[in-house]
Amino acid sequence: MSAAPRQTELLPTASARRTWAVLGEGVRASRRTVALAVAAVLAGGAAGLVAPWVLGDIVDAVAAGEGMDAVLRSVALIAVAAVVGGVFTGLGGWFVGRAGETILARLRERVMDRVLHMPAARLERVRLGDLLSRVGDDVAVVTAGIARNGADLVVAAATVLLTAAGMTALDWRLGLAGLCAMPVYVLALRWYLPRSGPYYARERVAMGERSHAMIGALRGRPAVRAYRLEAEHEGRVGDRSRAAMDITLSVFRLFTRFGARLNAAECAGLAAVLVTGFWLVRADLVTVGMVTSAALYFHRLFGPMIFLVMSFNEVQSAGASLARLAGVADLPAEPEPDTGRDPEDSSLRVEEVVHTYGNGAPPALDGVSLEVAPGERVALVGASGAGKTTLAAVVCGLREPTSGGVYLGGVPLAELGERRVREHVYLVSQETHVFSGTLLEDLALARPEAGEAEALAALERVGALEWVRALPEGLHTVVGEGGHTLTSEQAQHLALARLVLADPPVAVLDEATAEAGSSGARRLERAALAATEGRTTLVVAHRLTQAQAADRVVVMDGGRVVEQGTHDGLVAAGGRYAALWRSWQGAPAGQGPSGTPAALG
């Protein structure tokens, strides 16, 4: 398959306001679990207020000369409050985690739904690394944030609010003294957040760029090795990895300076409470026990406050990832055209189609016109880069032509809509995916209601029944990741059997036998002929034996149709196809001239 340069685009990222709105929608959808989580967290936080208050009472009791009984009662109350607080805090954390995971699961489903229903033409333009980093890295970052810190963040926030209320309940002046730390915290956050936020957004983009470089090199590894470009691609991945690492290190340095400001806030707050308490006790406005409770309350804030502000690192990163996920989840659903028109037959008509990939590249298709009659088999041949695969993609609706039109049974593909095009036109390419599951489940993807008998009939039609019966459990053998590994030939047999089950009127085979060896290719060619019998078929021919078996051969060069006719007629005409055929005939079986694989694109 020839690789044409293409213009790519990044998926959108949601604004902060829209990200909060998407999060709010998830919270409302899980309102019952969220309500239970809030109630449990508040109960646990309220129980945590008991110990400092009672300890203050013990100080006053001792100062007043009360006996040991009062102290023991206070200790028992603290023990009961600790048990109750622990139980409710644990329940609150469990409910928060459950609610968070549920909200994130629904968001992941929305993201996958939007990606899977994205028009194929747009999906072809999206940068693969950007897409994979969103459904992979970004989901992992948000999931880790919820699993590791989600419950603790909610519990810490509730503890801070309730403790501040407890200090104020002791004496409003002590509460105000404790609040002296807040301006320092706020100033620290105001200094940190504007500086760190852009870093995290850049970090997510840098990781997407790194993924894009890695996936591009891995997908094109045969070409990379053939042209000895390993060092260049390794250097590109290394450069993008270093760029992401440099951003991470910059954030860490910033975070260290942020920590020093947080220590200053604690010092300022505790000093204010103690100094205010000293003057209030001297004025006989509060007791020593009340000041003790206030100091303990403020000290109790150290852990939650530090946890909250220190967690801004992960919150910022998770927020950036959440905005990227929300941007995909918010993609508008593409409306399906409802013209009410159905194709009159299975004919194909390509009319003055031009297609360019942008970036200043010359047209991949330049004014191509072609008609394929119902039931006719047409083979596309030509050198790599001639435009064969691009034409096949345009006919399938995977790419939108820059100008011109494609008609199926007299109806423009744009009027039919992507879903109806898929019902009528079926593509089998050399890139066949074997899904994890039983072989029967993999086959049934083409037609879910198909039974075992229909699956066996489809396999028999394409000549795959022998190797299927040789599998450990036949049709019920688990294949794909973690299961039985299928060879390239077997995977292609599977794709052709899916074509038979789907039973579309039009089939497009894009180098569907290219991955097999010589003997395997001949078997797959026979399978492809059987699978497409009676269908309108467009074949991107990898071997000229496929063109020889076609009703008509179309020769392409430079994005144009330069010759077309029957195999015998073109050979007799002595043109480009005749030269290709002579070259093919002069090579050993399965080899092209000079011992190279006899492939045309």
Kindly state the greatest CA–CA separation across the chain.
121
Whether the predicted pLDDT of 278 surpasses 60: yes
Specify the pLDDT at position 159: 80
Angle subtended at Cα 372 by Cα 368 and Cα 378, rounded to the nearest 5 degrees = 90
In the numeric block, the tokens 């899916």 are attached to 498
pTM: 0.63
Q: Are 28 and 99 in contact (CB under 8 A)?
A: no
Q: How confident is the model at residue 535 (pLDDT cuts 50, 70, 90)?
A: very high
Highest mean pLDDT: which range of 112-126, 284-298, 542-556:
542-556
The dihedral of CA 443, 444, 446, 447: what is its sign?
Answer: positive
Write the pLDDT tens digit of every residue in 165-217.
888 888 888 878 877 888 887 788 788 777 776 777 777 777 777 777 787 77
Query: Helices 68-116 and 151-170 meet at what angle, rounded to 10?
Result: 140
Cβ atoms within 10 A of the Cβ of 273, count?
A: 26
3-state secondary structure of 562: strand
d(CA 578, CA 92): 78
Query: Helices 50-63 and 151-170 meet at what angle, rounded to 10?
Result: 30
For the record, the structure tokens of 588 come out as: 């050993």
Q: What are phi and psi of 2, to 5 degrees?
A: -75, 145
Q: Are 309 and 220 in contact (CB under 8 A)?
A: no
Write the pLDDT tens digit of every residue in 450-468.
888 999 999 999 998 889 9
Specify the pLDDT at position 592: 41
d(CA 56, CA 67): 16
Specify the pLDDT at position 593: 38
The DSSP result for 270-339, as a single string, is: HHHHHHHHHHHHHTTSS-HHHHHHHHHHHHHHHHHHHHHHHTHHHHHHHHHHHHHHHHHHTSPPPPPP--
**H or E element, residue 427:** strand 425-429
d(CA 196, CA 319): 12
Specify the pLDDT at position 350: 92
d(CA 245, CA 250): 9
Eight-class DSSP state of 474: G
For the record, the structure tokens of 144 come out as: 């880790």
The DSSP result for 444-483, as a single string, is: TTS-TT--HHHHHHHHHHTT-HHHHHTSTTGGG-EESTTS
Q: Which residues contact 284 (CB under 8 A, 6 or more apart)?
A: none
For the record, the structure tokens of 571 come out as: 């050979």
The dihedral of CA 515, 521, 527, 532: what is its sign?
Answer: positive
Mean per-residue pLDDT of the chain: 81
Angle subtended at Cα 109 by Cα 107 and Cα 115, rounded to the nearest 5 degrees = 105
The least confident of 388-392, 512-516, 551-555, 569-573 is 512-516
Look at residues 391, 374, 373, 372 and name the one whose alpha carbon lies nearest to residue 382: 391
d(CA 508, CA 511): 10
d(CA 116, CA 267): 54
Q: How confident is the model at residue 516 (pLDDT cuts 50, 70, 90)?
A: low
